[in-house]
A and B are shown apart, each in its own frame.
Chain A
């Protein structure tokens, strides 16, 4: 039940995972990563996460399609969606999901770190709003 401080990165690109790990670890945050939705589902069965960083391009489906699946397992987790390139149509699809923050990968990594830390706070706040 405890430790909503964990962050799960769902991204098949090892370079991106490494970058997120580095910038989040500096802040003392606990990061786990998986390359696919299937593995994310398995991971969420054993790990409680306060924040999911999901990339738009996943092997099995689009990241925004994975949001409802992963949120069904971890309803209180806040979702940050990342994308390498953006378009109005893509962003509109992302925003139709319950997404806490939308991060464009070419923007600074510290922005992502800051969003993750806000997401963890928001997750705790919504849990304490009456559990």
Chain B
């Protein structure tokens, strides 16, 4: 079960102490205060905190010394340091010593609340008791990839290996397995992290618009002046472009992309001028790109260019030990966002999650937990709070005698229809299918009125 978040405020400033107190009440964090660094270190020796705020009216050296000691004793400690706005050199030193953030003195309640929320949302510290195992795979700039299976550890290794190289990477996996998350992790661990990370869905725009979005467009206006649209490649200069669903791009654009990878240059629609770009390409696919290349449906040269460093993300059903860990991660995230006091998941609900196949992978798990947090009446998520994408397997009504999937689907659709008073558009939206599919299923299962 997850603990309540615990914050430690090391501060001898009354205004900070009162901001801390009201924030903790408002966002239901637990907190402790220590008026001196020594008291703070004493508390830290006894227990772990999710976040530490260091705001002491002492010399910069004393503040840095305290930060160093905290991080030496616990290299993973998240520490916010409050410093005067004009003391840039101490701020830089604090970041070098691993401060999670530097806030400006006097502490502003809003800025502090926002910073706390974003850091705590993005990072979940596993309890120290977890057999000394750190189950977060590579947290970099607050990006948490959760997983404890060997395969996820290998992915972590690969990310660390490929990130600094600038090489093109192809991430393969079903929808919702975390391809974009991995792409972001690569970007954030690379030397390009301060430049843009631009994500592009290659399947969402018709070809001519997609080309203009990617490479830009030059056009004469009726006043005679030329107007230039720069496009995503040019504006991602120095950064990383993430091309999702790369298998969907047209043969014409495959050729243009190949040129970008070979020559590092683009040409805008309506122009002959060549523009040099320095962009790292990370591509992702949920289809068998290799097969498409072998069948001539995807340009082979492009496939080989992209396939230099492939990373494979297996579906969630093939990494069951990650399910509960991810569930806890999302529980923590949505508990804070939804401001609900949901602390854990019942063993029966956990078992249900382990038994399920997760066709929508981690994305589906995230949605299921978000919905469960909203639905939960008490502090613990029960099986009835779990509404799956295809099947509602709450144990309230028991399972039908006939365990066939079709029977469960019929039951689920009937329940959904009745809870939306027969409103098909809403039912379809709720079920995550389009209206046509719903209509076909209603006919097939004889559910029409």
Majority SS of interface residues in chain B?
Answer: mixed
Interface check A92, CB cutoff 8 A:
yes
Say yes or no for A6: interface residue by CB 8 A criterion. no
Question: Could you give, for residues 84-119 of chain A, a 1 whenever the CB lies within 8 Å of some chain B CB and a 0 otherwise?
Answer: 011010011001100011101011000100110011
| CB proximity to B under 8 Å, residues A46-104 | 85-86, 88, 91-92, 95-96, 100-102, 104
B321 to chain A, nearest CB (A): 22
Bound-state CA distance A100–B212 (Å) is 12
- Does B429 lie within 8 Å of A131, measured CB to CB? yes
Say yes or no: A129 contacts B429, CB within 8 Å: no
Contact A106 B222 (CB under 8 A): yes
The stretch of B225-233, B291-299, B303-311 that contacts the partner chain: B225-233
Q: Does B204 contact A (CB under 8 A)?
A: yes
Checking B196, B205, B206, B432 against A131 with a beta-carbon cut-off of 8 angstroms, the contacting residue is: B432
Further contacts, 8 of them, CB under 8 A, given A95-B232, A118-B206, A130-B367: A85-B227, A86-B230, A96-B196, A115-B209, A130-B176, A130-B364, A130-B432, A131-B431
Binding site for A on B (CB under 8 A): 175-176, 196, 198, 201, 204-206, 208-209, 212-213, 217, 219, 221-222, 227-230, 232, 235, 360, 363-364, 367, 389, 423, 425-426, 429-434
Q: Of the 9-residue stretches A24-32, A36-44, A120-128, which lies at the interface with chain B?
A: A120-128
Find A106's partner among B208, B227, B364, B431 (CB 8 Å cutoff). B227
Asked whether B219 lies within 8 Å of A129 as measured between CB atoms, the reply is no
Q: Say yes or no: A102-B213 contact (C-beta < 8 A), given A88-B230, A130-B176.
A: yes
A121, B248: Cα distance in complex, Å: 15
> Which chain A residue lies CB-closest to B432?
A131
What residues of chain B lie closer than 8 Å to A122, measured between beta carbons?
201, 204
- Whether B429 and A2, one on each chain, are in contact in the complex, defined by CB atoms closer than 8 angstroms, is yes
Asked if A129 and B213 make an inter-chain contact with CB atoms under 8 angstroms apart, the answer reads: no
**Cβ–Cβ contact B235 & A95, under 8 A:** yes
Residue from A85, A106, A114 whose CB has the most chain B CB atoms within 10 Å = A106
Report chain B residues within 8 Å CB of A124. 434
A79–B434 CA distance with the chains assembled, in angstroms? 22
Question: Residue of A at shortest CB range from B270?
Answer: A107
A107 to B364, CA, bound (A): 39
- Of all chain B residues, which has the CB nearest A78? B204
Taking CB atoms, residues of chain A closer than 8 Å to B204 are: 100, 118-119, 121-122, 125
What CA separation (Å) do A121 and B205 show in the bound complex?
9
27 A–B pairs (Cβ distance < 8 Å), ordered by A:
A1-B430, A2-B425, A2-B426, A2-B429, A85-B227, A86-B227, A86-B228, A88-B235, A91-B229, A95-B196, A95-B232, A101-B213, A104-B219, A106-B219, A107-B217, A107-B229, A111-B208, A115-B205, A115-B209, A118-B205, A128-B432, A129-B363, A129-B432, A130-B363, A130-B364, A130-B432, A131-B431
CB distance from B219 to the nearest CB of A (A): 6
Are A114 and B206 neighbours in the complex by a CB distance under 8 Å?
yes
Interchain nearest-CB distance for A77 vs B (Å): 14
Expressed in whole angstroms, the minimum distance between the Cβ of A115 and any Cβ of chain B is: 6
Enumerate chain A residues within 8 angstroms of B429, measured Cβ to Cβ: 1-2, 127, 131
Contact B209 A101 (CB under 8 A): yes
Given A3-B425, A115-B205, A122-B201, do A129 and B430 touch, yes or no (CB 8 Å)?
A: no
Contacts of B175 in A (CB 8 A): 129
A2 and B201 within 8 A (CB): no
The answer, among A86, A95, A111, for a CB contact under 8 Å with B209, is A111
Q: How far is the CB of A109 from chain B (nearest CB, A)?
A: 13
Complex Cα distance A77/B317, Å?
31
| Contact A114–B209 (Cβ < 8 Å) | yes
Residues of B within 8 A of A129 (CB): 175-176, 360, 363, 432
Bound form: Cα–Cα A91–B196 in Å: 13
Q: Are A91 and B230 in contact (CB under 8 A)?
A: yes
Alpha-carbon gap, A104 to B114, bound state (A): 35
